[in-house]
Chain A
Amino acid sequence: AQKVTQAQTEISVVEKEDVTLDCVYETRDTTYYLFWYKQPPSGELVFLIRRNSFDEQNEISGRYSWNFQKSTSSFNFTITASQVVDSAVYFCALSEAASSASKIIFGSGTRLSIRP
């Protein structure tokens, strides 16, 4: 069965600090997809990144970076030099290739607060 665990319920840091959000997943499938979504206080869900299980390269997009390690079943998200606008709930998600299409399982989310 697929499962996503985000052990950090809430994180609070001061602006300009770096912060890492942890995501650990479980799957029996060899082909799967991992995602990160952002939910700002306005409530919409914003797609950030998608990674397939065969691509373990880390990715950097501006202040955001993602570290995918199959050996530890983790897909962690780091924000460098955090800003107040980064305050949001962040969700990690998993989709197994063998499961029915569009069946994405979400973690319970990490609420990130950036203090000015």
Chain B
Amino acid sequence: NAGVTQTPKFQVLKTGQSMTLQCAQDMNHEYMSWYRQDPGMGLRLIHYSVGAGITDQGEVPNGYNVSRSTTEDFPLRLLSAAPSQTSVYFCASSTRRGYEQYFGPGTRLTVT
């Protein structure tokens, strides 16, 4: 099993550009989440999904969209990048409610 994979590992965007961060898992986990990690702030939940076709907002959803068309994939879309979105983004999955999450390696995004 590859576990949770994320692409790209690094990305630089200009303000106003859009892009999609890819996340995939091969563990048949129902639950997937996107977090951003900023210095001194831990991880903050952006969006999450409890299964294919079902998504919901987390703590900091503004400026981001998600969809879940398959169990395996959970892409995160930045609609119009802003410098405030410079961060490290982690995707995670878990088998079910209340269980530990398995994290991808992260994507380091810089918006100039």
Contact = CB atoms under 8 A, between A and B. Distances in A.
B50 A101 contact: yes
Interface stretch (A42-50, A59-67, A76-84): A42-50
Nearest to A46: B103
Nearest to A33: B98
Interface string B74-105: 00000000000000101010101111111101
A35 B105 contact: no
B98 A91 contact: no
Interface residues of A, number: 24
Contacts of B88: 43
B96 to A, nearest CB: 7
Chain B interface bracket (under 10, 10 to 19, 20 to 34, 35 or more): 20 to 34
A104 B42 contact: no
A101 B88 CA distance: 23
Chain A interface, DSSP helix/strand/loop, else mixed: loop
A33 B96 CA distance: 12
A106 B42 contact: yes
Contacts of B58: 103
B72 to A, nearest CB: 16
B98 A100 contact: no
Given A33-B98, A101-B50, A102-B33, A91 B106 contact: no
Interface of A: 4, 6, 9, 33, 35, 43-45, 47, 50, 52, 91, 95, 97, 100-109
